Chain A
């Protein structure tokens, strides 16, 4: 048996200032130079980071009670509807919700200038937000209308609860058709003129712990500039193996995280409202996950490079919208980051949607927190389903099919 470290041992080293912490980028040359065994001995924590649009995000709020009381059944924040079908003064504002009077795609491609993601960013920045609520009125909650301004400091609680974030891996999106298309992967030009991808590759949290050896329910993380937690596996958590063009297994792909964290701690630098032309609104979220180097197996995955990590290429003009399985193969993150890939005998320009410099910043910030003894690692209270659990994705059967 090789080296085995416990969470308690690593945390003791963090407390005494002895822990060695490096980012998921810095670990690569270190392992290449010293070898897996030595690096596992020396390094205690590897920090990962990602910063990209994550549509399945939103925040729960409790506004406090008005006098007289109100059972808010409809709530708008800066004219963006929030879901109020929960208790009297609670609501959930979702990142992709659009403004009440947004022209949407009626003048295609729509601009979607302001939505739920922007409301969340405005709250985080401390800006006043226009609050409107309606109700049908009850004996215990007589008030029927309320309009005021609120800031993040006025509400009792506001916490981000994102049902699906930090996708383990993501598609490299292209357009095989003859016309420009506007997608959540950006503007894709005809005849595979560009290819967009959206993970931080060798810095990406779930690509660096692909079998969920350390990340589980209760893992403490960096979320939007504050401290958050992994609450559950995310929706559409389908950890499976990605195969290469010859059908050989490459690495796991398809895991997701549900995360939670206090919005009051977050910073607008790491929580940004987004407008995607022709598609809609969303939220860019910064997430950093620390990986405790418990043994060589954890380190082996944590040290993976962009050359060893791949994204599936998917056509967003037909394959994706029509739920067809793809035949375009995979490309490595090293190639994607080079700016050009070869597809169907053609050189194709690539661009990311998720910010690599911000991912580096987040991994470094988390590293600094741990170094300063401000952030200890938490042992998961439950593991997440992994490849071995063989979860199969269900699709929605439409009537008439």
Chain B
């Protein structure tokens, strides 16, 4: 089961509710809290990595509690300034999102084809591939 990243936004009326407890206990969510922040006005945000069969029910529960839920799409970025067009990432990329444009042999990134497997992040010798949230 692949994990999903979500961001929860609490207002001051919801920030003191034990929602994580319910998600784990009642909806069998496996939760990894990536970031949690609460401001002096008691408004908070929380970034979660979630796996669980009852994912959709859990989301409904959150929304019923008046907590705003947003999908967090992690994105891979190609830093063209930094990239040397060496080409080494093009055989590591499983989907062809990174490819050589011939005959110039310039490396091009097609983000629509990217499945965020992070292979390119590992093999790029100059760290020109970046993750952003």
Q: Which of B93-133 contact A (CB under 8 A)?
A: 100, 102-106, 122-123, 125-127
- Report B-chain residues with C-beta under 8 Å of the C-beta of A356: 85, 87, 104-105
Which residue on A lies nearest to B82, using beta carbons?
A272
Check A354 against B86 for contact (C-beta < 8 Å): yes
Interface segment out of the listed A62-70, A91-99, A159-167, A186-194: A186-194
Known: A186-B123, A272-B126, A275-B127. Contact between A358 and B92, CB under 8 A? Answer: no
- Report A-chain residues with C-beta under 8 Å of the C-beta of B103: 337
Q: Does A284 contact B (CB under 8 A)?
A: yes
Q: Which of A162-193 contact B (CB under 8 A)?
A: 186-187, 189, 193
Digitize A194-219: 1 where CB-to-B-CB distance is under 8 Å, 0 elsewhere: 11100000000000000000000000
Q: Does A387 contact B (CB under 8 A)?
A: no
Which residue on B lies nearest to A339, using beta carbons?
B100
Which size bracket describes the interface of A in this complex?
A: 20 to 34
Contact of A351 among B84, B87, B106, B125 (CB under 8 A): B87
Known: A186-B123, A274-B125. Contact between A339 and B84, CB under 8 A? Answer: no
Check B125 against A352 for contact (C-beta < 8 Å): no
Q: Does A142 contact B (CB under 8 A)?
A: no
Contact of B100 among A52, A282, A351 (CB under 8 A): A351
Q: Does B88 contact A (CB under 8 A)?
A: yes
- Report B-chain residues with C-beta under 8 Å of the C-beta of A358: 84-85
Check B125 against A355 for contact (C-beta < 8 Å): no
- Report B-chain residues with C-beta under 8 Å of the C-beta of A338: 102
Number of A-B residue pairs with CB-CB distance less than 8 Å in the complex they form:
74
Q: Does A316 contact B (CB under 8 A)?
A: no
Contact of A353 among B86, B102, B105, B106 (CB under 8 A): B86
Q: Smallest distance from the beta carbon of B130 to chain A beta carbons, Å?
A: 14
- Report B-chain residues with C-beta under 8 Å of the C-beta of A360: 104
Contact of B84 among A111, A272, A349 (CB under 8 A): A272
Check B87 against A352 for contact (C-beta < 8 Å): yes
- Report B-chain residues with C-beta under 8 Å of the C-beta of A314: none
Question: Whole-angstrom distance between the alpha carbons of A354 and B125 in the complex?
Answer: 11
Check A51 against B102 for contact (C-beta < 8 Å): no
Q: Does A89 contact B (CB under 8 A)?
A: no
- Report A-chain residues with C-beta under 8 Å of the C-beta of B87: 351-353, 355-356
Digitize A341-363: 1 where CB-to-B-CB distance is under 8 Å, 0 elsewhere: 00000000111111111101000
- Report A-chain residues with C-beta under 8 Å of the C-beta of B91: 186, 189, 193-196, 349-351
- Report A-chain residues with C-beta under 8 Å of the C-beta of B122: 109, 111, 187, 277
Check B125 against A357 for contact (C-beta < 8 Å): no
Which residue on A lies nearest to B104, using beta carbons?
A357
Known: A189-B91, A196-B91. Contact between A355 and B86, CB under 8 A? Answer: yes
Check B123 against A352 for contact (C-beta < 8 Å): no
Question: Whole-angstrom distance between the alpha carbons of A350 and B105 in the complex?
Answer: 12
Q: Does A53 contact B (CB under 8 A)?
A: yes
| Interface hub of A53, A189, A353, A357 (most chain B Cβ within 10 A) | A357
Check A352 against B126 for contact (C-beta < 8 Å): no
Contact of B105 among A53, A282, A357 (CB under 8 A): A357
Interface set of A (CB-CB < 8 Å, partner B)? 51-53, 109, 111, 186-187, 189, 193-196, 272-277, 282, 284, 337-339, 349-358, 360
17 A–B contacts from the bound complex (CB under 8 Å) = A187-B92, A187-B122, A194-B92, A196-B88, A277-B122, A284-B84, A337-B103, A338-B102, A339-B102, A349-B91, A351-B90, A352-B87, A353-B87, A355-B85, A355-B105, A357-B104, A360-B104
